[in-house]
């Protein structure tokens, strides 16, 4: 494990602003609720939530404090102990946001998971984490029931919206808003290195890995929220990301609430006019979105934007995958300001390369390293930084910023493999121009970035092989105008099965249900044989290169028969 060090300057400033003293207690749950009340913001709206039917709930910081106290006390009374993993498996309902803080307040490790995960994706992550409790909704508990027998460490299944008589076995109902507000709670005295959040992320090989973060991550998340997202007192802030992914926690819960701003949440699928109406209705001033969403909005046209008063927007940011130049230029035209691209990942915990407010945005560029982050591009042969600009290499960060992951859960080898020559490797390729701007080129591995979410080919291929018709499979990225990349699967069939559109759809739906909609191949190509090395290993890079129209590279050891 790399011991974090503090970069000179910015991180210490954030510590001072937050009143944190080295070696003292630091609990994200307290900092995002109680501290704001101590600063006199108890009456300020912390969360304004709305669902697709227009139902609303509003919580002030004081209500956030007393309700998370009550939620935390309730979890503690169940017997959940500090350090145990508590999974949040919900749509974007208030219980997800408040539950996250409550888990941290009672010393648990919050493990948010995307609610669209199918039972196999869910099981993989709960099993690896040894999760002790899961907080979910009645529509998602059905998936939990299917795998409960295979999860001996899962002691508590908590349903936040259970109708009377609908629970099974030892499942427990919790109506969060019905819990009496709790004025005082003995917040767990976590310190800087106390584990806080476990976020799963996919790699090229093996099953997803749990990036484990600590309470000290707050320092980075607070400072980048204030500086990069430009959050100021009085702001109304909307982050489009689901807290099942790291953006939705670092910048959909921790950062903005540590800054004391009003967050708005829309628990609804995408629809351009509804999004614009939401921005208008809540007078959103800072909007953190994603390239996929921006491209979907672009597709709906500029005329639609003119029907809404979006004059409240002051600052726009984007994350997930590289923001194309056209999207930056379009946003300047229709919103009167550009989206600012930000680059980071589950493991970094905070924005590390970015276009800061006021910085000249070069459309298509990732921007520059955040002050306090040392970033470079390494020669992939030597793992040394290039001497001059313009050459494509591996994006690398000098370890030691506060929110860097501290380990992969139960996988120290994978963690160690992320470091070379004293640099942390992000797994992405880029170049740096003479003025220090980074320009994204692509992934350095076989991971598929679809709509800003990383999907591992191994997990998809394993699920494909469970289908009775599939003999062998390879999952690769395919370019897509909206999602940047989507999953494409190459499949060979077992004897007795013939390629057909019916079979393709059947396999697509099987993967969607087992894993998630993100992992579902949007195209399946049935082929006679997959390209393999002489030792029998499937060579995904050739299939990927064909999809992207790129050179296939060295094929001297590859066989396709």
Sites of contact with other proteins (CB under 8 A): 52, 91, 116, 139, 142-143, 267-274, 296, 299-300, 450-451, 481, 483, 501-502, 504-505, 508-509, 512, 517-518, 520, 522
* Complex with other proteins: residue 306 or 537, whichever CB lies closer: 306
Separation CA 390–CA 438 (nearest Å): 9
* Complex with other proteins: residue 142 or 302, whichever CB lies closer: 142
* Complex with other proteins: residue 269 or 496, whichever CB lies closer: 269
- Residue 296 CB, nearest distance to other proteins (Å)? 7
Separation CA 557–CA 541 (nearest Å): 13
* Complex with other proteins: residue 303 or 561, whichever CB lies closer: 303
Is residue 191 packed enough to be buried (19+ CB in 10 Å), middle (13-18) or exposed (0-12)?
Answer: middle
* Complex with other proteins: residue 305 or 520, whichever CB lies closer: 520
- The position carrying tokens 């591995």 is 445
- Residue 324 CB, nearest distance to other proteins (Å)? 17
Separation CA 24–CA 449 (nearest Å): 39
* Complex with other proteins: residue 106 or 503, whichever CB lies closer: 503
Separation CA 103–CA 98 (nearest Å): 9
- Residue 508 CB, nearest distance to other proteins (Å)? 5
* Complex with other proteins: residue 295 or 544, whichever CB lies closer: 295
Separation CA 147–CA 151 (nearest Å): 7
Q: Residue 393: how many CA atoms within 13 Å on its side-chain side?
A: 23
- Residue 397 CB, nearest distance to other proteins (Å)? 30
- Residue 476 CB, nearest distance to other proteins (Å)? 17
Length of the chain: 561
- Point out which residues pair with 449 in neighbouring strands: 454
* Complex with other proteins: residue 3 or 501, whichever CB lies closer: 501
* Complex with other proteins: residue 225 or 450, whichever CB lies closer: 450
Is residue 382 packed enough to be buried (19+ CB in 10 Å), middle (13-18) or exposed (0-12)?
Answer: exposed
* Contact indicator for 49, 267 with CB cutoff of 8 Å: yes
* Complex with other proteins: residue 262 or 292, whichever CB lies closer: 292
- Residue 216 CB, nearest distance to other proteins (Å)? 34
Q: How far, CA to CA in Å, does 558 sit from each of 444, 531, 539? A: 20, 6, 8
Residues 6+ apart with CB under 8 A from 354: 224, 228, 340, 341, 342, 343, 366, 367, 368, 370
- Residue 162 CB, nearest distance to other proteins (Å)? 12
φ/ψ of 137, rounded to 5, equals: -110, 165
Q: CA-based angle 196:260:85, to the nearest 5?
A: 15
- Residue 9 CB, nearest distance to other proteins (Å)? 41
- Residue 198 CB, nearest distance to other proteins (Å)? 24
- Residue 143 CB, nearest distance to other proteins (Å)? 7
- Residue 264 CB, nearest distance to other proteins (Å)? 16
* Contact indicator for 110, 135 with CB cutoff of 8 Å: no
* Secondary structure E strands in 303-384: 315-318, 339-343, 353-354, 368-369, 375-378
* Complex with other proteins: residue 414 or 508, whichever CB lies closer: 508
Separation CA 36–CA 30 (nearest Å): 9
* Complex with other proteins: residue 143 or 532, whichever CB lies closer: 143
Tokens standing for 317?
């940011």
The number of beta carbons lying within 10 Å of the beta carbon of residue 326 is: 13
The number of beta carbons lying within 10 Å of the beta carbon of residue 86 is: 27
Q: How far, CA to CA in Å, does 383 sit from each of 21, 104, 418, 425? A: 36, 38, 12, 9
- Residue 52 CB, nearest distance to other proteins (Å)? 5
Secondary element (H or E) of residue 523: strand 523-526
- Residue 55 CB, nearest distance to other proteins (Å)? 12
Q: CA-based angle 525:526:532, to the nearest 5?
A: 95
* Complex with other proteins: residue 92 or 199, whichever CB lies closer: 92
């Amino acid at each position: 494990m790399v011991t974090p060090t503090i970069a000179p300057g910015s991180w210490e400033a954030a510590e001072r602003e937050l009143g944190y003293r080295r070696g003292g207690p630091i609990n994200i749950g307290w900092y995002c609720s109680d501290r704001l009340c101590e600063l006199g913001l108890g009456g300020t709206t912390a969360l304004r939530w709305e669902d697709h039917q227009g139902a609303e709930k509003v919580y002030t910081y004081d209500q956030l404090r007393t309700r998370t106290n009550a939620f935390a006390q309730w979890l503690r009374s169940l017997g959940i102990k500090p350090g145990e993993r508590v999974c949040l498996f919900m749509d974007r309902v208030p219980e997800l946001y408040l539950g996250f803080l409550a888990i941290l307040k009672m010393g648990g490790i919050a493990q948010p998971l995307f609610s669209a995960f199918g039972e196999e994706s869910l099981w993989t992550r709960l099993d690896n984490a040894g999760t002790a409790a899961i907080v979910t909704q009645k529509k998602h508990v059905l998936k939990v029931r299917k795998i409960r027998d295979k999860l001996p460490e899962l002691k508590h299944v908590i349903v936040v919206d259970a109708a009377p008589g609908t629970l099974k076995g030892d499942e427990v109902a919790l109506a969060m808003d019905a819990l009496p507000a709790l004025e005082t709670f003995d917040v767990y005295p976590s310190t800087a290195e106390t584990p806080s959040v476990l976020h799963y992320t996919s790699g090229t090989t093996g099953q997803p890995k749990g990036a484990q973060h600590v309470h000290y991550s707050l320092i980075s998340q607070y400072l980048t929220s204030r500086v990069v997202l430009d959050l100021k007192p009085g702001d109304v802030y909307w982050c489009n990301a689901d807290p099942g992914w790291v953006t939705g926690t670092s910048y959909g819960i921790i950062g903005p609430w540590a800054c004391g701003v009003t967050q708005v949440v829309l628990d609804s699928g995408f629809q351009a006019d509804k999004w614009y109406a939401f921005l208008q209705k809540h007078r959103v001033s800072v909007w953190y979105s994603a390239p996929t969403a921006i491209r979907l909005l672009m597709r709906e046209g500029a005329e639609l934007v003119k029907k809404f008063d979006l004059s409240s927007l002051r600052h726009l940011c984007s994350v997930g995958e590289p923001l194309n130049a056209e999207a930056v230029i379009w946003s300047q035209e229709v919103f009167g300001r550009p989206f600012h691209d930000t680059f980071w990942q589950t493991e970094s915990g905070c924005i590390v390369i970015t276009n800061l407010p006021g910085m000249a945005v070069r459309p298509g560029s990732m921007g520059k390293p955040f002050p306090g982050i040392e970033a470079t591009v390494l020669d992939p042969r030597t793992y040394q930084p290039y001497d001059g600009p313009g050459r494509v290499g591996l994006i690398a960060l000098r370890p030691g910023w506060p929110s860097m992951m501290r380990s992969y859960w139960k996988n120290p080898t994978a963690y160690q493999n992320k470091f070379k020559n004293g640099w942390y490797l992000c797994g992405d390729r880029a170049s740096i121009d003479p003025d220090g701007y980074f320009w994204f080129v692509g992934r350095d591995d076989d991971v598929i970035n679809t709509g800003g979410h990383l999907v591992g080919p191994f997990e998809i291929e394993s699920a494909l092989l469970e289908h009775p018709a599939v003999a062998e499979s390879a999952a690769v990225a395919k370019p897509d105008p909206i999602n940047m990349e989507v999953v494409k699967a190459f499949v060979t069939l077992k004897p007795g099965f013939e390629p057909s559109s019916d079979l393709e759809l059947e396999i697509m739906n099987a993967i969607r249900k087992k894993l998630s909609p993100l992992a579902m191949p949007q195209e399946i190509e049935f082929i006679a044989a997959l390209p393999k090395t002489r030792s029998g290993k499937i060579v995904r890079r050739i299939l990927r290169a064909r999809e992207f129209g790129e050179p296939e590279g060295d094929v001297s050891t590859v066989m396709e028969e």
